[in-house]
Amino acid sequence: MTQQPLRIGLAGLGNVGASVFRLLTEHRDMLRDRTGRDIRVVAVSARNKSKDRGLDFSTVSWHDNPVDVAADPSVDLVVELMGGSEGAAFDTVKKALELNKPVVTANKALLANRGAEVLALLKKSEGTVSFEAAVAGGIPVIKGLREGLAGNKIRAVYGILNGTCNFILSEMYSTGRPFADVLKEAQDKGYAEADPTFDIDGVDAAHKLSLLSGLAFGCVPDVEHIDTKGIRKVTSLDIDFANELNYRIKLLGIARQTDKGIEQSVEPCLVPKDSPIATVEGALNAVYVDGDFVGKVLLMGFGAGGNPTASAVVADIVDVARNRALPLMGIAAEKVTPLKPANILERIGSYYFRLMVLDQPGVIADISAILRDNKVSLESVLQRGRDPDQPVPVILTTHETSEESIQRVAAEIGKLPSVVEPPYLMRIEEFKS
């Protein structure tokens, strides 16, 4: 039996919003067949009404204020695609939930920074919030965690969560060009914004990781406790030395359940060249989920762009049309607990050091003494060039040690007169399927 139409209010008509409108229009008959309901946009809002988007809005109501889309009595489902954690985006979601309407959003910043407030609203609302498009674009990682892996206790979730950074690191590897040149190409191709800060400093990936952690471990998204480092300091020298050591460099978001709490980090890491995650190139994203019964599952695809993200948005809309939208963090809002962060200084792992030193007698002996005194053992030492007048690179890799020890070693080495710039550290993650 055909149900009543699902009437959508669309707040935000940027790249993703326009693609959602187009998808719903072009696939209207197919979606009706798959859901048993007619799904149509009845109200929209955007900053610039006069902009030519190549779409026909003649049959929909236009609201200058997006909150009015949520309040519109003709709207059954609110789709928020404005972005940002403050102002209109939050106010629109809040109004929809106060009116017991379901919400679909692609807004990772909103949920990462104000997830506790959204959960508080959900406790008093009959509405739901779905956010497949907020993490990894068109890759169904949220559905994977909330549905396909619901029978598993999740031990870890990790992966490449930012396509811009993956493109930059891939191009640096394949072409040998420096970071600044490849960043400019990423901007020219539309992979990076004019201000790329959120991408290259790891903020975007941290937002996404906080949502994955919340789903994986049934906790409130907590971006404040993610140790976040971007890729600005990765050089072609690091790319070359990592390759010589049989590693690739990838910006990884990692969340692990440990006996002492949940470890969360976003940082460039060395991964073995024969690991699947090392082969993920260009603007692709890849997410591993490690469950106690299923083992490791890899999801990979394009994590950004209007069409892939619109695909994820419409997947959530279809769930609402089928009356099967799930709780925000996969469990009832009342069951979601605050995240218990592990002390990052107690994290155990192996490390890569890049040192720029003056080629003087005793330099390596001084460095070795600091490592010995802090009980940090070396895996390998690489040195290139001999020039008494210019700094030369020395690359160290260590056996497993604590983050606290390695930070202390880095601080002490940085004080040596022969070390001309702060040591650069990256973790080595031995990911294999």
Helix (H, G, I), strand (E, B) or coil at 265: strand
Q: In 10 A of CB 180, how many CB atoms?
A: 9
> Where would I find the H helices in 41-177?
66-71, 88-98, 108-123, 141-143, 163-175
| Residue 175 neighbours by CB under 8 Å, 6+ apart | 182
Pick the closest to residue 277 from 259, 252, 255 (CA basis).
252
Catalytic residue among 95, 143, 208, 229: 208
Whether the CB-CB separation of 378 and 397 falls below 8 Å is answered with yes
SS3 58: coil
Beta strand 154-160 with 247-258 is antiparallel
Say how far apart CA 131 and CA 90 lie, in whole Å: 14
**Half-sphere exposure at residue 178, Cβ-oriented, CA atoms within 13 angstroms:** 3
DSSP state of 346: G
Residue with tokens 């956010």: 131
What are the C-alpha distances in Å from 176 to residues 244, 246, 427?
14, 16, 22
208 catalytic per annotation? yes
Q: How many CB atoms lie within 10 A of CB 272?
A: 17
Question: What is the sign of the dihedral through the CA atoms of 349, 352, 355 and 361?
Answer: positive
Residue with tokens 């779409």: 55
Please give the C-alpha separations between residue 312 and each of 144, 308, 317, 328, 385, in angstroms, as whole numbers.
Answer: 12, 7, 9, 16, 51
Q: Which residues are catalytic?
A: 208
